[in-house]
Structure 1
């Protein structure tokens, strides 16, 4: 089973790239972020024509997450628990049948948090991360395979960016941000990419500005965080960076995990 995450940065603007990538890469489950579309405006027909079921949690103009899957999910939950006043569409969970049980796959778009001195944005990011920690703790108690995949807007370690000095003072790299990410790991979640390699220069995002892509001035902020039951079945991880060189690309690329699960349905 191939599970991918991709911040698409506007699904309507990127639909041709998305369809081409689905044909080329053939993932079983795709977690999309920043679809920037309401549910009824999502281009589901193009994706259904490729054999994918589509579940969305959209929002007009920004944010928005989706799950694409070759098999229909048994259950879908929208919105991260813990704050009934939060109207931002940043989280969707699907439960999928696999041989021997089920796997839970979540697509999440963690708040950016910049500028850090904003009285709302950075506190919202940290509060959202704490809600995610509480959600993960609850789900881990089920002792089921769990994949929390998405754009975390977190650079976990200095070697996850081209130049740590550039990111000092940025909400993606602040000590409080990285500490909140480590609290997820302390629950027992595994960073899939780092479970397979300690290679530096492993990036998933290159800004559109300042020639970041040709200079390879990237950062790694798109992660698959795995429960022990999922990590035990992880075979490999790939970052499909060639997609960044396509026409009209997203500034993120797909991150894919390969698992020893067989879908049912």
Structure 2
């Protein structure tokens, strides 16, 4: 089975590229972030034409997550238990469309292997080190970690994939110039954000892509501004973290940097993982 994660930065704006990519990549499951759609303007037919079932979670032109699968799509969950809501400057908190999961791999399965639950995650950005969005981001990650750990503790054989745009560069090599980020006081590299990411690894979840594609200079995101992509000034912020039982079945993984090229590209590249 081949699973992938991709922040498409507006699914409707990149519908043709997404359709071409799923055909070319032969991905069985695609976790999507930043659909920027509501259900009533989501391009359902794009996936139906290609033989995928799809589940979507989106309220507006912001955020939005989805999972498309041609190998079964069952037990869809929108948000994780106790997922924090956000409200800025006294505004009533709202539940943002940032997390969706489903069980995949059940179609035509006769191996007896445990199902795979995949999460499509669009982790809050943080915006600035002193912004109200930063404590929200850290609480969001801790609640997600607690939920994922509880699932694995209840069943050590659970096959769980936490995939998506984490909005964190957990190592210095994951940004093109660490000193630039420090001098500018930017998010994504601060100690609290990195500690939140590493807490997943300390809890047993495995970054299954980095060992196969180590840095430096291996990125998944390049800003549209300042010619970041041709200058190779990127960030590694999109990850697939796998539970121990799932990590042991990974046979290959890669970042499709080519998809960042050309007219109408997302600012993120797809990340792909192949399972035995």
Instruction: Please classify the TM superposition score into its range, dividing by the shorter chain length.
Output: over 0.9
Structure 2, unpaired ranges of 5+: 86-93
- Name the counterpart of 2:148: 136
- Name the counterpart of 1:116: 129
Specify whether residues 83 and 74 from structure 1 end up closer, same or farther in structure 2 by C-alpha distance, changes over 3 A only: closer
- Name the counterpart of 1:91: 99
- Name the counterpart of 1:217: 233
CA RMSD in angstroms comes to 1.2
SS at match of 1:6: strand
Separation (CA, whole Å) in 1 of partners of 2:81 and 2:228: 36
Q: TM-score w.r.t. structure 2 length?
A: 0.91
SS at match of 2:260: helix
Separation (CA, whole Å) in 1 of partners of 2:173 and 2:72: 38
- Name the counterpart of 1:46: 46
Please say which of residues 72-81 and 250-259 is displaced more in the overlay: 72-81
Structure 1, unpaired ranges of 5+: 261-265
Report the Cα offset of residue 84 of structure 1.
6.6
**Contact 1:80–1:90 at 8 Å: present in 2 too?**
no
Specify whether residues 83 and 237 from structure 1 end up closer, same or farther in structure 2 by C-alpha distance, changes over 3 A only: closer
- Name the counterpart of 1:172: 188
Q: How many residues align?
A: 259
Separation (CA, whole Å) in 2 of partners of 1:250 and 1:191: 23
Report the Cα offset of residue 83 of structure 1.
4.0
- Name the counterpart of 2:88: none
- Superposed CA offset, 1:17-62 (max 9, x none): 1001011101000000000001121101121101111100112011
Separation (CA, whole Å) in 2 of partners of 1:164 and 1:4: 28
Separation (CA, whole Å) in 1 of partners of 2:165 and 2:84: 22
Written as runs of structure 1 = structure 2, the 5 A alignment for 1:24-103 is 24-83=24-83, 85=85, 86-96=94-104, 97=106, 98=109, 99=111, 100-103=113-116
